[in-house]
Every structure is written in C-alpha cells, then in structure tokens.
Amino acid sequence: MSLPTLIPREVLFGNPERAMPRLSPDGGRMGYLAPDSGVLNVWLRTVGQEDDRVITHDRKSGIRTFFWSEDGRYVLYMQDRDGDENWHLYSVDFESGVIRDLSPFEGVRVDDVFTDRNHPGEILIAMNLRDRQISDLYRVDLATGAVRPEAENPGNYVGWLTDHEFRVRGATAAQPDGGFALLVSKQPEAEFEPILRWGPEDKGAALGFTPDGRGLYVEDSLNSDTTQLYTLDLATGEKKVLSHREDVDVGSVMFHPTEHYVQAVAHNLHRLEWTILDASIAPDFEKLGQVREGEISLVSRNKADTTWLVAFTSDREPVRYYAYDRETQTAAYLFSNRPDLENFTLAPMTPVTIPSRDGLQLHSYLTLPAGGVTKQLPLVLNVHGGPWARDGWGYDAEAQWLANRGYAVLQVNFRGSTGFGKAFMNAGNREWGAKMHDDLLDAVAWAVGQGIADPKRTCIYGGSYGGYAALAGAAFTPDVFCCAVSIVGPSNIITLIQSVPPYWQPLMHTFRVRVGDIETEKEFLESRSPLFKADQIRIPMLIAQGANDPRVKQAESEQIVAALRAKGKHVEYLLYPDEGHGFSRPENRMAFYAAAEEFLARHLGGRTEPGAEQEKKLLESLRK
C-alpha cells in the first residue's frame, strides 16, 4: 500500500490562515477571521488596499463567527467563557477600536440577534436575563450600549419573528405534545394569534415576512414528507409553494439583501444543488459555475448587491473564496482558508447509499485512503453529533486525517438525521442505542460485505451523540468493534436529561418525544444507557471531555470511566479544564488529535505523526 505524504496535524486541525470573509454593507471594507498570537480574531481590510489590521484581541478559544452592523460602523461577534456557552455579544467600533460587551450580565446567554437595514443604530437580542430558562427580547443601542426590554417571553417561546419595520410580530412556541405553534400578529400592534401548528412529527419554521409585509415565508412538512418552501397570506391563509423536492428537505434559502424576496433554494441529498427562483441571478450562478469545481455558497454581499463573496467547497481542496463583480461578471480570487493543504494529496469523499435491515436508505459518505488500496482496510465509523443533524459532502478535516493515516472512513446519516424527510427523522424516535445503532451496524456490515473493511479492525468514533454512539457500540455490541473513541458523549440518558442547561427547558417536551420520558420510563432509558452495560465493555476506549460542557456534563464521562476502572478495565481519559462541548483552543485540539492518532494506530495499525513536545506535556496534564 503506497500512501501519500503524511499530512501534519497542524495543517489539518490548526487555525485556518484566513476564513469567513464578510463585506461591510457599503462594500468598502472586508472583515475576515485569521490568527493573531495563535488565536482566531477578526481582521479588517479596506477593499482594494492592503491595510489589513486586527481589531479584536481574544487570547483563548478564538472568535468563530462575526457580522457587521447595518450602518457598517461596528463589527459584532459572540464569545463565551471556556466553553460554558453563555454567549455574550460584543461590538467593535473599528474606527476607535473600542470593544463593548453588549450583554454584560453574569451567567446570561444571548440566543439570537436581529438587525434591520432601516434601523442601523440598534439591534434586538434574545437573552435569558430575567429568567434563565427562557429568552426575552431586548433592544440595544449600539452607540451607547443601552439595553431596554422589548418583548417578554410568557414561558414557552423558543424563537422570535420581526417584520421589515423592526417590530416584533411573532414567535414560535413549544407545545406540551412536543410540537410547536407559530404565533403572529396579522397587523402591527395586534395581539399574537396562532397561525400554524406543527405536531412533534413535523418540521416547520417561519423564515420571515414577504416584501409587502402581508404574508410569511414558511418551510414545513405539513403537506408532504419532505419540507416545502411556500408563502402564506396572513389575511386569506392561501399558500403558494415556491420550492419542493420529494427526496430531500429544503436546505439554505437565499434572500435578496434589501428587498427580502427569495432568490434561490438549495437542496442537499448527496451534494448541494441550487434551484434559481429569481431569473436576474441566473447569469451570475452560470458564470460562477465556470470559475472552478466545487459547491457554491454565497457568504456575503453588499447592500447595492454589486459584489458577492463566494465560497467554493470541494472534498479534496481547502475552501476557496472569491470576490464576484456582478456588473462585469468576473471573479477575483481572494484566498483559501488552508493554503498549506494544497501541498498534499487529499482523498475523495464518495456519496454511497446503504440499505438498512428494515428497508431505509442511509445516505452516507465513504472516504478511502488515496494511494490505490481499497480492500480489507481498517475502518473508522465516524458518527455525527446531534443526533438531529446530518453529514454532508465536502472537505472534512477528520475524514482527511483518518484516510491519510490509512483508514477507510464511513460517515452515516442514520435514522433520526435531518434533511431526508419527516418519516426518516421520526424513525429515530425512541431509538437511541436501538434502531439508530442498528443503522450504524448495517453500515459496517455493508463495508465488510463490499470487501472494503477488515471486520477485525473497525473502530467507532464520534462526539456528542456520536460519543454516545461510541459508548453504545462498546457496551451493546462489543464484538463488532475493536476500539472506541468517545468525545463529550453521554453515558446515562437519565442524568443527561436531568442536567441539561436551564435554557433547554422549553424544548424538553420535544426531547421526551424523541428520546423518552425520565419521569415515567426510567427502566427504558436505563436500557438505552451505556453506563448500565459497562460490564460488557471489553474493547480499548479513549474518552475525552470538556470540564465546562453545559450540554454533556463532566459526570457523563466520569461515571462510565469510574465504572470501567472499578471492573479493572483500562480506559484512557482526557479531561480539558478550559473547554466545553468540544475543543476550541488550538493547543487542546492538537493535543486531542495527537492522542487519538496514537490510540488508533495502536489498535488499528495506521500511521502516526510524532507528537510535539508541547502536545506531550499538555496530554500528561489532561490524563486522569
């Protein structure tokens, strides 16, 4: 087997060189993320010049996303403390350099931010200041930082809706049966009234008001298995379907930046596909399709809509960003997020459809090592988190890392994954550790049956729900896997639910439908919890946990580690004191992947890159 050059972990998992470009509303400036002192911060550049300068000064986890105020005076970004997910919203006045915490309240979390082009000096933020379980809406003056209440949550609102005059005109309310209701004021200043009702089996959301303010854009599955995008006339109740496919849900929806009408809709069965609804942008997408291979995403545009910033995503290349001039229909290359990747051979990610034992179609992705050998490979089953999420095609750092080390990598959209219709999602209800796990086993059996995977060298690996799946694989089906890696994985569904953060409470009705009821089904949930089958675990395990994780508490990892060690079983356990639900700090990421790489090589036989001394020292402090 001739594998390509070893890709350094720093190239795969270190900070991107530059990423996430965003145009100011007037198009005169561009912000982007780039390292400063080894930590991702926001940088600013005047378009057409090379006056790049850093305007934020985070020194811990780094900034992950940012956006512009409507007047272009401020850059806004969210940050928590060591992974606690109590997100604060900050503004940066790029002229004065002043950074202001717009939500300076201890233990409070900003859930959502609303901006409006006609109200450039203010924003609306949803935060749980009054009651930690629910988020009220507050209006914030960007110049002064003054915060005043705007709308109070009666106790079950989980989202807010504003109109084009920046008035609060609706809310999504959680219902006792696990469904949701959409409440809207049909006229400004009128009382909210129920407009739509989605049961726990359905998916639905209001995406905003139509340009005339008389209707709503809605995406839901009320009249079909997969979601439809339609307009709803508030006066007559008339619905007009704009986009629908029988095989996959609606994905991203592209709106005009100032006129608020839908221009394009994306669907993603195996790969991203755009349907153009606004003929005026069809020539732009045609031209962009000629720039280079890859999936096209519009990441930013100025208000005049003359300049687009576009990302091209491929499975075997870094993300590449271009500035597209709509008037001349020309694209100018800006940068790639990881130019060092261009020096290495990456492996193709292939969409595959795997049948489950009861007839479902599991849309999945297979990444095989570049180099020619495709049979009897060690396999890593990389299970996505959520579980109400999905895997997709494109550059995936973990898939490339594992394939480069010599492993076949299989990523499965098991039942309960989103995007494939409500029947597929609801097939995962109450199936943690059962039929959801069977789907994973069927995928492994498929890979073995195809001759791809060596059945004696298969590892189950994942984070969050994927971490639970890794624990379940080790506890419930220890003969299928030879090792397991669990990152922030729940081991006991009962204690997981009992310890959720307070702001999850309005969503717990849905959790009871999807997972089970801890009040009435203790025995059932224990049967689906790996902790209670820990005595059956006999394969090597690597468990990693963030001490500040608000979703999967430290106890979830520690109780199963203790149970294993009480039985005299070896388990490698890494505890990160300054992390939450995943590893944000660059040095922590590098240390984890160094440990995971060595663990996998020991049990699957793949390649390793020697660990750096600083990684080794950090790992010694993390091992518990």
Residues designated as active site: 464, 549, 581
In contact, 307 and 326? CB cutoff 8 Å = yes
Calpha distance 538→489 (Å, rounded): 18
The helix (run of H) or strand (run of E) holding residue 469 is helix 465-476
Using DSSP, state whether 84 is helix, strand or coil.
coil
Residues of 143-170 as b/e, b for ≥16 C-beta within 10 angstroms?
eeeebeebbebeebbbbbbbbbebbbbb
Using only C-alpha atoms, what is the Rg of the chain? Answer: 24
> Given the DSSP bridges, would you call strands 204-209 and 193-198 parallel, antiparallel or unpaired?
unpaired
In contact, 109 and 127? CB cutoff 8 Å = yes
Residue 44 neighbours by CB distance under 10 Å: 18
> Can you point out the beta strands (E) in 417-469?
453-463
Calpha distance 463→623 (Å, rounded): 18
Q: Which of 250, 126, 199 is nearest to 510 (CA)?
A: 199
Residues of 374-395 as b/e, b for ≥16 C-beta within 10 angstroms?
eeebbbbbbbbbebebbbbbbb
**Which token pair is 265?**
């809709």
Using DSSP, state whether 140 is helix, strand or coil.
strand
Using DSSP, state whether 42 is helix, strand or coil.
strand
In contact, 150 and 138? CB cutoff 8 Å = yes
Calpha distance 114→104 (Å, rounded): 18
Instruction: List phi, psi (to 5°) of 40.
Output: -65, 130
Tally of CA atoms within 13 A in the half-sphere of 618 that contains its CB: 20
Calpha distance 223→564 (Å, rounded): 49
Instruction: List phi, psi (to 5°) of 410.
Output: -120, 125
Task: List Cβ<8 Å contacts ≥24 apart for 153-161.
Answer: 155/506, 156/506, 157/506, 158/506, 158/507, 159/112, 159/205, 160/112, 160/114, 160/124, 160/126, 161/206, 161/208, 161/209
Please give the full DSSP string across 310-362, using - where no structure is assigned: EEEE-SSS--EEEEEETTTTEEEEEEES-GGGGGSPPPPEEEEEEE-TTS-EE
